A and B are shown apart, each in its own frame.
Chain A
Amino acid sequence: MPEKKATSPKPQASSEKSSHVAPGGTAPTSEKPMTITAGKAGDIGGLVSVKIDDIDIKVPFGTTILEAAKTVGIRIPTLCYHEDLCLAGVCRICVVEVSKQRTLQTACTFPVTEPVTVSTTSQRVRQSRRHVLDLLLSKHYGECYSCFRNNNCELQALAKEYGVDFFRFGHPDKPRFEIDRSSYSVVRDMNKCVLCRRCVRTCIDLQSVGVLTAAHRSDKTKIETFLDRPLADVICINCGQCINRCPTGALRAKDPSDEIWAAIDDPKKHVVMQTAPSPRAAMGEEFDLPPGTSVTQEMNTAIRRAGFDMVFDTNTTADLTIIEEGTELLTRLYKALVKKEEAFVPQFTSCSPGWVKFIEHFYPEWLPHVSSCKSPQQMFGALIKSYYAQKQNIDPADIVSVSLMPCSAKKFEANRPEMRSTGFKDVDFGLTTREMAQMIKEAGVDLPHMPKTHFDLPFGDASGAGLIFGASGGVMEAAIRTVIEVVTGLKAEQVFTDANVIPVRGFEGVKYMEIKVPQTGPMLDLFKPLIKKGRLGKDWTWLNGATLKVAVAHGTANARKVMEDIKAGGKFAGCHFIEFMACPGGCIGGGGQPIPTSPSIRAARAKAIYAEDMGLALRKSHENPHVIKLYEEFLTDGPCGEQSHKYLHTHYTPRGDYLV
């Protein structure tokens, strides 16, 4: 008889353990997701009665008390619980009385498998919650005024909610730990840590990296890296997912805004901003707008008012990436299918620096599959200090190039030594959505009420294809729109309704799609130099009737699944092109985005991006006039040509267990 299982109805994080073993140690393991085996067959799928504070409801077998309470509008406080993560049950703030149980039970973990009566308000419950807070505060060193989570901190909010008016069990007056600022991306201040382990679970369950673990016991317990090394000295992919799920100010991104203010205040400096597609769909949240409110053009104005000289759209180089990476894909396919030479197919995307560092560490032997294209951020950076500087006659030494990114890994990427194709750093500072919002506030600018303005020339506004890079599947969709048109001569709309490639959208961890090439069309002039070099044929007939197989993975735990499948020669090994994004949901869920994050918040942001794309006239990268002009004026030997290779392409470091 097969084993009957009922899992909690809410999707739970994968419990995939990191297969990486840190030098000399084993990867930490996370708490296991809960599986409940039913006693009786009838229990499964059935409804169970629960009485919560005199409200009678029926919930599906296995629903937690927390979820059940939510459905009837009863709020139970939580701290270690996070919708994206498996259950820990460690903070004990969510305790409730449950019938037949001697002790209090944690609502976040307790599954309803038989009728129970729950009280969320007893004296014991109130006192316990207050004590948990008192105890956490007795160890918490930090000043709310000077904390980036001020007014957006779960600990602070609970202290207010539970009426903490004095420190019952004391309060530290000096820090116990040194702040770790070693990483380019993530700053760790363990004095503010409440040991909820959300970061640990994030890094293992969602990201499959396993940087962080609970070390030591009892009151010496501390979240540590391997051997408590500085974060820069362990294998961290800088994704910042831990930051987004930390309830307190213990984790934050490294903030460069002081240096940027200094540049803004320096009259000699020309401070240029490029903005990635995702921040615009999330920045509103920092100004109390509901998730999913797009503020693109208000933001443009606000950024200029904060003192930036120019605001460009990273979507422009997203469009450029599609041309370059799409061309690279076609040349690889030509090499593999026509010339029958090793061409390292499937090609992997390279726009997510968290993913790039992940593969450098965990699958270094697969690096030849990664597109040599720089990420859109770095492409733009290189163009600003070359093409733009020449065109505007500005000394690149005087340009300070800042990028507004949803991402903390972009900070690390900007500091990669290989990202200096102009002799200067392509990008001087990567700024997160949160940090930009802070700068805008600091400048006294009320973003939601700003007049709308366009992006600045010479790059102007970009295509919807560049915009959807922000959501998981977006790069793939943008590439498909372009490749289909280029190869078949058809309009993308003739192949996909409204040119929307639905199968690659959404939040399923790994997505897969097959596209049949219905016909082939004429060769574009753009590819002439490549034909001359023998990297492409005179026509596309070799692709006629072919089936393109593509896949999309987001969150590096899912990336690991795909990579393991490829290694085992599974379905994904037969793909031609795979999009990998380090962050769950893609960039809209990036480690630099507004806090909190949740599946519904990410869905709202993605919806905003897709809606904006639908509203644009220009929705395909290869139709972006500014990109076409770029090839005419600057990248004159075409996509994947020498000029393009100098500025827009890069190489990778097989790191394995090593840091460099």
Chain B
Amino acid sequence: MASVIHIMERYEAGSGLKKALAMSRTDVIRQIRESGIRGRGGAGFPTAVKWNLCAVAQSPKKFIVCNADEGEPGTFKDRLLLTERPEVLLDGITIGGYAIGARLGVIYLRAEYAYMKPGLEAALAARRENKLLGKKVLGKDFDFDIEIRMGAGAYVCGEETALIESLEGSRGEPRNRPPYPVNTGLVGAPTAVNNVETLIACAQILVKGPDWFKKLGTDVSTGSKLLSISGDCRRPGVYEVGFGTSLKDILKLVEGEGAKAVQVGGASGRTVPAKQFGRKLGFEDLATGGSVIVIGPQRDMLGVAENFLEFFVEESCGQCTPCREGNPKLLEGVRLLKRGKCSVGYLRELQNLGRTMQAASKCGLGQSSANAFLDITEHFRSEILGRVPATKE
């Protein structure tokens, strides 16, 4: 199987928006529902359901927020989309805004992407000029504008409620849910937070139709997915593939055969050992926000776990106990394992702790930060146990 060109197909600026504005809001959402699209940011929530919840919420104010915080280690596909397909994205945001009844869209742009801001601002200005933004968009009874707001570098601010806190000028910490942002979001108003790729796909769906979108993918995971592929392979980069593609095929594509594991979904994703390379990308099995990291045979899996855990120990917002205190304990455990100083009993305690973190943490960060540790300690047991302690401690 090869890579495809699907949502990356040619797109005429404004075309999706024109189509959307010719329809009722409910019909726009119906098109999205028929496409079966689910969020591309990682969680995979059906986009039509999200938009509909926002659309039916009673509120004088509503917002659509484009999550361009792209912070997951190993993800860089939104960077490509933001630089290569800004027009499609801005159409997508405007269509979403129309569908839910928002008058303002916000792009929450990753701090490291500040260099893109002038280009995006220019694109926004041109759209205002062309009546694609502003009062009476395309002459219809629809006022809408888009603002760009910069992140400040915290990974957790990609989590939608932390993102909203950050937008409100507070410390970027996830909120309690429920209530969900579709109900109580930015400044308490119903808010749809969507990934860059989701919004681009939606714009394409409006132009080309739900059936076009569903040509790729599986029943549960329709359409295609952009992947940022990095690590131990000869052809790293951004690829578009249909959902349902197996890891084996992906490795072939990037010339990474011989890998001993693939990390799907970034640091917070799953570590898949070689014997499971038949598994397929999709919400039914291996969900991913786009990050695929190839782990070559020469890598020390404890080094991999250590690397990821160092990231989470750095990036936990520190709000809730399991994540704040749990990640350092797992990291400590990995370092003990590396030195052959972790008993099998204590490893079991740490695995249980990892499961507690998955179950009891407040947000997706803590709920997934133990994934790699659990996968590696399960699938690479013989590799990680029984290391000989260094003679000098």
Contact = CB atoms under 8 A, between A and B. Distances in A.
A658 interface: no
A135 B321 contact: yes
Nearest to B333: A169
B56 to A, nearest CB: 8
A403 interface: no
Given A4-B58, A92-B320, A220-B318, A138 B325 contact: yes
Interface in B177-222: 178-179, 183-184, 188, 190
B165 to A, nearest CB: 9
Interface in A160-215: 168-169, 195, 213-214
Given A29-B170, A128-B360, A218-B315, A34 B324 contact: no
A104 B360 contact: yes
Q: Indicate the size class of the contact surface on chain A.
A: 35 or more
Mostly helix, strand, loop or mixed at chain A's interface? loop
A110 interface: yes
A460 to B, nearest CB: 54
Given A34-B176, A220-B318, A138 B183 contact: no
B360 to A, nearest CB: 4
B100 to A, nearest CB: 14
B60 A127 contact: no
Contacts of A50: none
B356 A128 contact: yes
B328 A219 contact: yes
Given A36-B178, A128-B322, A217-B315, A95 B359 contact: yes
A87 B175 CA distance: 10
B267 to A, nearest CB: 14
A124 B178 contact: no
A113 B179 CA distance: 10
B183 A132 contact: no
Interface in B347-393: 349, 352-353, 355-356, 358-362, 367
A90 interface: yes
- By size class, the interface of chain B is 35 or more
B317 interface: yes
Given A29-B170, A110-B178, A128-B356, A37 B324 contact: no
Nearest to B363: A103
A132 B322 contact: yes
A103 B358 contact: yes
A128 B359 contact: yes
Contacts of B360: 92, 95, 103-104, 128, 131-132
Interface string A527-571: 000000000000000000000000000000000000000000000
Contact of B349 (A28, A36, A168, A220): A168
A35 interface: yes
Nearest to B182: A37
Contacts of A91: 320-321
B325 A135 contact: yes
A584 interface: no
Contacts of A135: 321-322, 325-326, 329, 353
Contacts of A89: 176, 320, 362
Contacts of B349: 168-169
Interface in B286-341: 313-322, 324-329
B106 interface: no
Nearest to B326: A135
A618 B297 CA distance: 90
A36 B313 contact: no
A106 interface: yes
B57 A139 contact: no
A113 B362 contact: no
B59 interface: yes
Interface string B104-148: 000000000000000000000000000000000000000000000
A567 B168 CA distance: 27
B171 interface: yes
Contacts of B359: 95, 103-104, 124, 128
Given A106-B176, A220-B318, A127 B58 contact: no
B362 A92 contact: yes
Contacts of B320: 89-92
Contacts of A35: 179, 184, 188
A258 to B, nearest CB: 36
Contact of B324 (A88, A127, A218): A218
A218 B314 contact: yes
B6 to A, nearest CB: 30
Contacts of B57: 37
A121 interface: no
9 contacts: A92-B360, A95-B359, A103-B359, A106-B176, A128-B322, A131-B356, A135-B322, A217-B315, A219-B313
Given A31-B175, A195-B324, 9 more contacts: A2-B58, A32-B175, A92-B320, A109-B176, A127-B356, A135-B329, A139-B325, A218-B328, A219-B318
| A-B complex: 7 closest residue pairs judged by Cβ atoms | A221-B318, A135-B325, A218-B316, A128-B360, A109-B176, A131-B356, A89-B176
Interface of A: 1-4, 26, 28-29, 31-32, 34-37, 39, 87-93, 95, 103-104, 106, 109-111, 113, 124, 127-128, 131-132, 135-136, 138-139, 168-169, 195, 213-214, 216-221
